[in-house]
Structure 1
Amino acid sequence: MTKPTIEDFLLQNYSEQTVKSYTFAINHFLVMNPKAKRYKYKDIVEYMEEIGKQQPNAKYRVVILSAIKKYYDYLVMSGYREDHPCRKLNIKVNSNQAVQVQDLFSSEELQLLLSRENRYENLDTRNHVLINLLIYQGLTSDEIIRLSVQDVDLDAGTIYIKASKNLNRRKGKLLPQQIMLFFKYINEIRPRMLRGATDKLIIGKLGKPITVDSIHAMIQPLKALFPDKNLNPQTIRMSVICNWLNEQKLALEHVQELAGHKWPGTTEKYFKVDSFQQRELINKYFPL
């Protein structure tokens, strides 16, 4: 049986655009390092140190290292290697911009946001849809107000999120429990609430497309659940991204796509550091 190429391997989990970026970086790495198939941890560290001398931009170095990691993932999958020489190697991103992950919310805490009920069925269902988009898909308020009914594909179980200035377009998966909720909202609740013609998915209580301010106002009463933390749509999204990485242990590149981040370095800031030794290693080889 013919083994898949590295492009085939990457296409199983990533978009064509991401695969194109990875293969370009991998091919450059192999040209510069013809013995890379047998490299050990210290060889990768030394190579990245050289990259750091040429390119001080940490985000650029994160992209290169992410591609190199996928190359060794492919070698392990194909049986060429039994070990992965750099799986735990990370690059330090500007600590002044680090996410304070200890101040965010766990998945269990985010689930509590669904416990508040509204005495009006229409608003209760609408609010549950909106909170679902926040705590499961990790959308921003701006992304939510720009969603249209056509962006939700209930048959495929997906939702299309449009690109913005700061975030990439992407297609998110709906969880099984979301399908019936969204079906009820789109086919029963939303038509009742609607006042006038619009294709926007989320409708406000006056029958018009919801605004960012309205989303913040809906979250405001829920702050009582967490008096010692700052609950708002932004910290909810940050918590979701953090939980994808640290609770669910999803790959950095996968979380980058789920979040719509343009750079892996943006996603990497959500990692919880496991040990003092790892911090010292990163500071030694990748100072900013």
Structure 2
Amino acid sequence: MGWRTKIIDYKSYLQIERNLSKNSIESYISDIYKLVNYLNDFNIGSAPISIQKKDIQQFIYEIAKIVSPRTQARIISGLRSFFDYLIFEGYREDNPLDLIKSPKIGRKLPDTLSKPEIDKLISTIDLSHPQGERNRTILETIYGCGLRVSELINLRISDLFFDEGFIKVSGKGDKSRFVPIHHTTIKYINTYIHEVRNHITPHKEDSDIVFLNRRGKRLTRQMIFIIIKNLCAKANIQKTVGPHTLRHSFATYLLTEGVDLRAIQQLLGHESITTTEIYVHLDNKYLQEVVENFHPRSNTSRKEK
């Protein structure tokens, strides 16, 4: 059986059995097709149930010439998962990637913006522009609630529970959670909805979506990246900044203010605390203060206060 059939079956498995998000599934499938394209380019007629380790190794060798070690590691991980699926379904008895090691990569710490940098970024928005109020509200919502970009662009008016102080967002794998929302963010969203959005005629399928473009359709992920990139250039912020930077900055600020890591985990919608723990590595000054204030030999420990 050919690659196309197995990839379609695998895609269904990722959707139904693993309940992965659309973006995650597309990433997995795209990496498998990189291998398929390589096999086609070099006239290697190996099928998914018969491909050997040597063919995979040669593919990894070729792909390593054009991608970063981190991307290479992701491709290897994704292919390993695909062949594990084939074993699970009884099409193979072995995984040709079992003995192929991923390149060693260091932990990549995300860029963050300080509170003054966030304020500077938002202050550069031209509020006289028709989209200015919307763009300010977008940044305030991502930063103020720690949202993923996918959660922002799919936020619905019917998911705004302002009287209760929460919004409902759909995270990875379509898992929903309630996120507390600050009164200042509520103010920005209400202003946008009642003074800007009400002058836009939404497309039928996006009538409940909060953030719309001028044509009444929901914004794309790419558009959010472009908005932030342009604002960073205008604010002369030299860091690599995207929507996720604002999410990281929100979490890092809470951490440095003493918020418990478990609470941050819940706010961000992380399944595992180990994902949240990356923020601990962002601020050595915070760790030093923790030791000074809470170490059992500290003169200012909580017991003595």
TM-score range, shorter chain: 0.5 to 0.7
Number of aligned positions between the proteins = 179
Cα distance in 2 for residues equivalent to 1:251 and 1:97: 26
- In structure 1, the partner of 2:83 is none
- In structure 2, the partner of 1:89 is none
CA shift, 1:226, in A, is: 4.4
SS in 1 for 2:275: helix
Q: Does 1:140 align with 2:148?
A: yes
Q: Which of the pair has the greater relative contact order for Cα pairs under 8 Å at 6+ separation?
A: 1
Out of 251, 255, 259, the residue aligned to residue 245 of structure 1 is 255
Paired residue type of 2:214 = K
- In structure 2, the partner of 1:185 is 192
Out of 197, 214, 217, the residue aligned to residue 208 of structure 1 is 217
Give unpaired runs (5+ residues) of structure 2: 1-103, 292-305
Matching of residues 104-183 of structure 1 within 5 Å: 104-118=112-126, 120=128, 122-165=130-173, 169-183=176-190
Cα distance in 1 for residues equivalent to 2:120 and 2:237: 14
- For residues 45-88 of structure 1, what are the alpha-carbon distances to aligned partners after superposition, in whole Å with 9 as ceiling and x for unaligned? xxxxxxxxxxxxxxxxxxxxxxxxxxxxxxxxxxxxxxxxxxxx
Paired residue type of 1:110 = I
Paired residue type of 2:228 = I
Residue 168 and residue 245 in structure 1: after superposition, are their counterparts in 2 closer, same or farther (change >3 A)? Answer: farther
Residue 129 and residue 243 in structure 1: after superposition, are their counterparts in 2 closer, same or farther (change >3 A)? Answer: same
- In structure 1, the partner of 2:85 is none
- In structure 1, the partner of 2:208 is 199
- In structure 2, the partner of 1:45 is none
SS in 1 for 2:137: helix
CA shift, 1:204, in A, is: 1.0
- Paired residues of 1:253 and 1:264 also in contact (CA < 8 A): yes
SS in 2 for 1:206: coil
CA shift, 1:200, in A, is: 0.8
CA shift, 1:191, in A, is: 1.7
Residue 113 and residue 194 in structure 1: after superposition, are their counterparts in 2 closer, same or farther (change >3 A)? Answer: farther
State the identity %: 25
- Paired residues of 2:213 and 2:219 also in contact (CA < 8 A): yes
- For residues 134-184 of structure 1, what are the alpha-carbon distances to aligned partners after superposition, in whole Å with 9 as ceiling and x for unaligned? 21111111111111111112222221111323x853212221222222222
SS in 2 for 1:210: coil
Cα distance in 2 for residues equivalent to 1:226 and 1:118: 15
Residue 233 and residue 151 in structure 1: after superposition, are their counterparts in 2 closer, same or farther (change >3 A)? Answer: same
- Paired residues of 1:104 and 1:238 also in contact (CA < 8 A): yes
SS in 2 for 1:159: strand
SS in 2 for 1:147: coil
- Paired residues of 1:194 and 1:203 also in contact (CA < 8 A): no
CA shift, 1:242, in A, is: 1.6
- Paired residues of 2:122 and 2:136 also in contact (CA < 8 A): yes
Residue 110 and residue 117 in structure 1: after superposition, are their counterparts in 2 closer, same or farther (change >3 A)? Answer: closer
CA shift, 1:201, in A, is: 0.9
CA shift, 1:218, in A, is: 0.9
Residue 121 and residue 152 in structure 1: after superposition, are their counterparts in 2 closer, same or farther (change >3 A)? Answer: farther
Matching of residues 258-273 of structure 1 within 5 Å: 258-271=267-280, 272-273=283-284
- Paired residues of 1:245 and 1:252 also in contact (CA < 8 A): yes
Q: Does 1:236 align with 2:246?
A: yes
Paired residue type of 2:203 = G
- In structure 1, the partner of 2:11 is none
Cα distance in 2 for residues equivalent to 1:214 and 1:171: 25
Cα distance in 1 for residues equivalent to 2:122 and 2:131: 13
The structure that has the greater radius of gyration is: 2
Paired residue type of 1:173 = P
Cα distance in 1 for residues equivalent to 2:130 and 2:179: 25
- For residues 2-59 of structure 1, what are the alpha-carbon distances to aligned partners after superposition, in whole Å with 9 as ceiling and x for unaligned? xxxxxxxxxxxxxxxxxxxxxxxxxxxxxxxxxxxxxxxxxxxxxxxxxxxxxxxxxx
Please report the TM-score for the alignment, with normalisation by the length of structure 1: 0.56
179-188 or 235-244, larger mean C-alpha shift: 179-188
- For residues 182-219 of structure 1, what are the alpha-carbon distances to aligned partners after superposition, in whole Å with 9 as ceiling and x for unaligned? 22222332121234322111101222111111111111
What's the Cα RMSD here?
2.3
